[in-house]
A and B are shown apart, each in its own frame.
Chain A
């Protein structure tokens, strides 16, 4: 079963706009991670946020975590055509160390 559910499933924006993707999960977690996948490639780790953190930044990425609502959001600011990819959230569930559970992903298209 999927732990994370991303919303929206697909998102199309213009270059320069911000992109926001959301992830909801069901159980207690140790951390939540976001990954990017370019077409036909493996996943690449973007950012990790721990259960005791509420917000984290990395370059143009901003991740928030609300454990009371069991949800996270990924914001990509000033998007570029090169950001076109699928984005997945993954949770390391409390008590399930060393394993990640992935959501179904959001397909982002950034139009030049």
Chain B
């Protein structure tokens, strides 16, 4: 699992509240990604990071922000959660060694917005 953890693993929250999901890696990987997975849509990229304080938007970034103040942590914030953000969120890294085009995924966070 390339040393990737996500927290929390499950969260229930109410519409309009801010939510922060954390992705933590222990192997000094430079590239980190946040995806959401919804039925029928596969995985869609929200934001990614290519280094500390270096981030960029993905396909579905509206309503989300990210921060990376240190290499090991990539935070995803839902500024004001909506029911459409109910989803499973996956963090991924691109490895420093080996096939660099591949990605390794964390276990996911199930978020329910009521």
- Residues of B near A100 (CB, < 8 A) are 45, 103
Interchain CB contact under 8 A, A33 and B106: no
- Residues of A near B92 (CB, < 8 A) are 42-43
Binds B, one of A12-20, A65-73, A101-109: A101-109
Does A52 belong to the interface (CB within 8 Å)? no
Q: Pick from B40, B44, B50: contact of A102, CB below 8 A.
A: B44
| Interface positions of A from 1 to 28, Cβ below 8 Å from B | 1-2, 4
Shortest CB distance A24–B (Å):
13
- Residues of B near A104 (CB, < 8 A) are 40-42
Interface size on B, residues (CB 8 A): 26
- Residues of B near A88 (CB, < 8 A) are 42-43
Q: How far is the CA of A9 from the CA of B105 in the complex (A)?
A: 22
Interchain CB contact under 8 A, A2 and B41: yes
Does B31 belong to the interface (CB within 8 Å)? yes
Q: Pick from B45, B58, B102, B108: contact of A33, CB below 8 A.
A: B102
| Interface positions of B from 51 to 94, Cβ below 8 Å from A | 58-59, 90, 92, 94
Knowing A98-B48, A102-B44 are in contact, say whether A42-B58 is a contact too (CB < 8 A). Answer: no
Interchain CB contact under 8 A, B101 and A33: yes
Q: Pick from A44, A45, A92, A102: contact of B43, CB below 8 A.
A: A102
Q: How far is the CA of A93 from the CA of B90 in the complex (A)?
A: 21
Knowing A2-B41, A88-B42, A104-B42 are in contact, say whether A99-B58 is a contact too (CB < 8 A). Answer: yes
Q: How far is the CA of A33 from the CA of B104 in the complex (A)?
A: 12
A-B contacts, 11 listed (Cβ < 8 Å): A30-B101, A42-B90, A42-B92, A42-B106, A43-B43, A43-B92, A45-B102, A101-B59, A102-B42, A103-B42, A104-B41
